[in-house]
Chain A
């Protein structure tokens, strides 16, 4: 396996781990993030780093310049949260989440259209919250939007490029580590698997979807959420 593998939101724990798995599969790894710390993550993995704001045309152009013409994998992992119950949620905070989590992913995916190799794989990081989640009208809409976008593109670009999604629940990252311990414990208690997800739990599914083993899988969502999508 070769070709470029692009991972966005790669300065964080999850994106970095996804990058490690793809590098191990032999890809030429390109890690993208707004956070300059992505440079250190990339150096540790022997990867190239692109510091870019993917909501801007310049940011997308920076990724295109690094990508070359043989893109095997794109993982749209960049995302933010701005949680609030709907009555307290402003349009600005709603739009900010949609812009980064969904619209920026759409822009980058489409901008790379001519660069994908035959059999390339796009994986969108959706979320269990795409099915609805208290205080996350913006996040839920953004992650559900990735599902629809992927379904449509999977049909449009088949058989040349496959597009799938992974939908985690809570993952042990700096974002969840910042939550009040009692709140986190209550949320974890609702996960049938009995524990919070690890970056490896998610990265493994991403690596599978990007591999030849998933050559017949497109337009699908894998809920890597410890059963949270089913539990009361």
Chain B
């Protein structure tokens, strides 16, 4: 997981591949949790960028575990942050959706009343099980 958590800008976390060691799942999720927790305590909005294919389990099983784990975490931050006003959301897109993902990240980071949501960009997985 990479992302800048300094300054006053929104924090954007981008999931990276876990590798072959299952221990990487614990590391990736724990690292993301700490970054999101620290960001919301600093009053900064968070956007987690996920690969749509990982949410659907279309790739590596460990990457899929981290992706859906992050989404569950985003939703819990949304629930816990309803009163204090935390804004934590996720954006998911396919490999060809990079520009649309970036535009959506900027939009959702600035949205004052959206939290705990997954915004899916592109239509690759329409008609499939919701993430």
Within 8 Å CB of A89, what residues of B? Answer: 33, 37
> Are B25 and A106 in contact, CB atoms less than 8 angstroms apart?
yes
A91 interfacial contact with B, CB 8 Å:
yes
B34 interfacial contact with A, CB 8 Å:
yes
What bracket does the count of chain A residues touching chain B fall in? 35 or more
B66 interfacial contact with A, CB 8 Å:
yes
B41 interfacial contact with A, CB 8 Å:
yes
- Which of B29, B41, B74 is within 8 Å of A145, CB to CB? B29
CA distance A19 to B77 in the complex (A): 35
The count of A-to-B residue pairs whose CB atoms sit within 8 angstroms is: 139
A78 interfacial contact with B, CB 8 Å:
no
- Which of B40, B55, B69, B116 is within 8 Å of A141, CB to CB? B69
Best-buried of A94, A110, A130 by chain B (most CB within 10 Å): A94
B70 interfacial contact with A, CB 8 Å:
yes
Best-buried of B36, B67, B71 by chain A (most CB within 10 Å): B71
Task: Give A residues with C-beta under 8 Å from B.
Answer: 85-87, 89, 91, 94-95, 98-99, 102-103, 106-107, 110, 129-138, 140-156, 219-220
Task: Give B residues with C-beta under 8 Å from A.
Answer: 22-23, 25-26, 29-30, 33-34, 36-37, 40-41, 54-80, 116, 129
